[in-house]
Amino acid sequence: MRAAAYKSIFLVAIMIVLSQSPILGNSSGEFSVEPHHYSAGDWYEYDGYGLSLANSLANSYSVENASEFVGWSKNFDEPLLLEVVERGTCDFGEWAGSCMRSTATHSLNITLEWVTNSTPYDDDKMVLNITTTIQHEEPIATTAWNRERRTIAIEAWFLGDGESNIAETESTTIQTTHSSSERPKEMMVGDTWQSTLEVTKEDTLRQRLNRGMWNDTSSSISQTREIIFTVEEESTVHTAKHDWQTLRLREQAVGEDNYSLAYLSEYGWPVRTEEYEGGVVVMTTVLTDFSSAQYDGPKVTTIEESPALSALVTGIICLCAAILVARRSPANCA
């Protein structure tokens, strides 16, 4: 396997993994959404992230070499699992005190295939294993601050020059975010507010071939973005076992065409989330299982929904928003 050929193909995967994302969301105006009151032990599973990631990879390779890239097949795609872990103490930014910790994890394994004899790979196939881990901290008394540690590990297996090879990349981002305004205590149709987000990120990128020595690089960046939130309308979201009445919340940065939608249930978590680029949906996440101390219905269900607010909004949106912010910061992939 030639190093140059590997680098051009494998780095595409890194860029795409760092560019997936969703976020938050008029009628009678009687339906309202309050912040989600989460408890240690709550957990939520979502489908959609892995499929969106795999499709993005396939689309990218197809655009670069449509005549030689055949496509992809899924070996396994574990649900995105968000767990509210514990209540503890944290100290970052200007906050020191009680906070809630949550963890989101996801694992995807796919095989990419090219036309026979068109690559340096002996069988013209590469197996990618991509794992994502998000550790999130959010203060109990304020929504103005939050911090997350996001680690994305990519392993690639292939045969080149008659030998089995493995290439590894591990990207870790520690991100601290301060918002100029708190989230509303209650949301209703027609509500809108604007917030300035100050984001500080520390990035570390590690790479190695065939279990050799790691090659580490690091960088840091600070940026400010103006975000407009708009509660657009009430909407009924039909799922396999439940019809949810929701509020649709749009999040969009000033001066940007891309935006995110979340359909929020009365409990505060989104029943569905969508991410749009250039008016085209690029990611949809759906809640398939959950257990919440706040929900008085069945604790385990199989319904087509999506991430949740507060610990969940900052969990999913951190998987998503964090990735969204990374997409707009080329330094993170340098």
Query: Which residue type does 276 have?
Result: Y
Query: Which residue type does 177 have?
Result: T
Predicted TM-score of the model (pTM): 0.75
- Indicate the SS3 state at residue 332: helix
Give backbone dihedrals phi and psi of 63, rounded to 5 degrees, phi first: -65, -40
Task: Give residues with Cβ within 8 angstroms of 276, minimum separation 6.
Answer: 258, 259, 260, 261, 282
What pLDDT, on a 0 to 100 scale, did the predictor assign at position 245?
A: 85
One digit per residue, the tens of pLDDT, for the chain of length 334 reads 444 444 444 444 555 555 553 332 333 446 777 766 667 888 888 888 899 888 887 887 777 666 788 889 999 999 899 898 888 888 988 888 888 899 999 999 999 998 998 888 888 898 999 999 999 998 888 888 999 999 999 999 988 777 788 999 999 999 999 999 887 888 889 999 999 999 999 999 999 999 999 999 999 999 999 999 999 999 887 766 678 788 899 999 998 999 999 988 887 777 788 999 988 888 888 777 778 787 765 444 333 333 333 333 333 333 443 333 333 333 333 3
Query: Which residue type does 328 have?
Result: R
What pLDDT, on a 0 to 100 scale, did the predictor assign at position 27?
A: 35
Nearest-angstrom CA–CA distance, 250 and 124: 43
What pLDDT, on a 0 to 100 scale, did the predictor assign at position 19?
A: 52
Task: Give residues with Cβ within 8 angstroms of 305, minimum separation 6.
Answer: 46, 237, 239, 244, 265, 269, 270, 271, 272, 286, 287, 288, 290
Nearest Cα to Cα of residue 21 among 311, 243, 301, 262 = 262
Nearest-angstrom CA–CA distance, 62 and 70: 8
Size of the chain, expressed as the number of residues it contains: 334
CA distances, 161 to each of 120, 121, 164, 207, 209 (Å): 8, 7, 8, 21, 15
What pLDDT, on a 0 to 100 scale, did the predictor assign at position 326?
A: 34
- Give residue limits of the domains in the chain: 3-333
Dihedral of CA 293/37/42/140: which sign?
Answer: negative
- Indicate the SS3 state at residue 6: helix
Task: Give residues with Cβ within 8 angstroms of 280, minimum separation 6.
Answer: none
Tell me the β-bridge partners of 289.
45
What pLDDT, on a 0 to 100 scale, did the predictor assign at position 155?
A: 94
What pLDDT, on a 0 to 100 scale, did the predictor assign at position 9?
A: 47
Query: Which residue type does 114 have?
Result: W
